[in-house]
Structure 1
Amino acid sequence: MQTYIATISLALAGFSYGSPTSVSNRRFVSGGCNVHVTQWQKNENGVGGAYQFDVRVTDAIGAIIGGANRLTIGDFTSADVASQLPYLVVISAGAVDEDPVQFAYAGSQFSSSHGCSTGGYEDGNRDMDCGFTC
């Protein structure tokens, strides 16, 4: 009974752990979505020893439907990015600048080295754009 109440409380509070949201809560145009990411190198942008990311998720018509600013991700760990999509966008960081940034969405996987348009580091950061089916 306590587990059931806790689950309902989390659901009512809007928490999501990668499971789909109800169809009535979706507010995006499906098709080809995009995630634009600015990755800050370690010890840049006020964060020491970890990578920091600014993330913008857009739907098929380019409307911003989610994202995160100053999302800190430690070596070989992941973070979820909430949006209006039915699943979370997951970002995983490596330990050094040469390690690709990994992304996952609803079973699809792509990275800064495969499936994304990724620039080089300049002024302590680099930008990447990754398309995925939503």
Structure 2
Amino acid sequence: MSENTYTMRTWDENVVSGPEDGPRYAHARATFAYTGIIEGSSTCDYILYYAGEGYASEERAPGLERIEGSVDGRKGSFVIRHDVAYGPDGITDEWHVVPGSGTGELAGLKGTGTAASATETVPYTFDYSWD
């Protein structure tokens, strides 16, 4: 397993519009704990779409996550934008740092990452640099 992981701590999901058994979309707020290159905690908001009964397709969800902690020992916070594919076999995620979102020692942070897992502990990659 990767030395870089995040673990889901909470997941609160609510249907915004549509029936439980039909096409609908939902809002989910999650919290995560990070270890590895990123050390810290975060809050993330996702918009999820469900096709409804009888559809087993993989869906995609956008998300915004604010991470507070450190990257390679530098402290501050930053925001990442997610593009998550999800389905019965778990998630795959591609994300990038939102330009200008770094604070403290993380000002000027740029980067992209990936993640994939079918469990609550998710290995991730993070390629980053500084302005």
**TM-score, L = length of structure 1:** 0.41
Relative to its length, the structure with more helix (as a share) is 1
Relative to its length, the structure with more strand (as a share) is 2
Which gives a bigger RCO, structure 1 or 2 (Cα 8 Å, sep 6+)? 1
